[in-house]
Amino acid sequence: MEVELHKKLKERGLRPPRLLVANGTNGLWAAATKAFPDTAQQRCWIHKNRNILDKVPETKRATVHAELREAMHAATEVIARRRMESLARSLQVDYPKAATCVRNDLDRQVAFLSFPASELEESAHDQSH
């Protein structure tokens, strides 16, 4: 279904996006890859953070959430990856499901950081109009 939708959008003039942001739905990623093979794929941080936070007790959520925000706002992809791996290591013993969730799909999680900041700001501005 998503492939057909993308096909129809392309027929109506949609240019392939440079970056697609979506939740972790595998069907969507597969369809997007077929429709736009050269488009970078970005995992939605809000959905990912919720998935991770659901796997830690309430008493740890504020600390984990702060660490996730630090990774999300990292200046570079390398720094973001280091922060995510550090968080995963800190969770590994007591909360292994949370640690696994942190590590899963990390390439998509930090994809936006491969774009120059000026392009992201321009894109965000374009989307607001």
Task: Quick: pLDDT tens for 72-128.
Answer: 999 999 999 999 999 999 999 999 999 999 999 999 999 999 988 766 555 443 444
Dist. CA 126–CA 129, nearest whole Å? 6
* Both structure tokens of 61: 């959520």
CB-based contact 44:21 (threshold 8 Å): yes
Residues 82 and 103 both lie in one domain: yes
* Element at 21 (helix H, strand E): strand 19-22
Would the pTM count as exceeding 0.85?
A: no
Higher pLDDT, 129 or 63: 63
Closest of 117, 23, 120 to residue 32, by C-alpha: 23
Residues 15 and 68 both lie in one domain: no
pLDDT tens figures, 58-71: 999 999 999 999 99
Domain count, the chain: 2
pLDDT at 73: 94
**At residue 23, does pLDDT exceed 90?**
no
Beta carbons within 8 Å of 115's beta carbon, 6+ residues apart: 18, 19, 40
Dist. CA 129–CA 125, nearest whole Å? 7
- Domain assignment of residue 59, given as a range: 44-112
Residues 105 and 59 both lie in one domain: yes
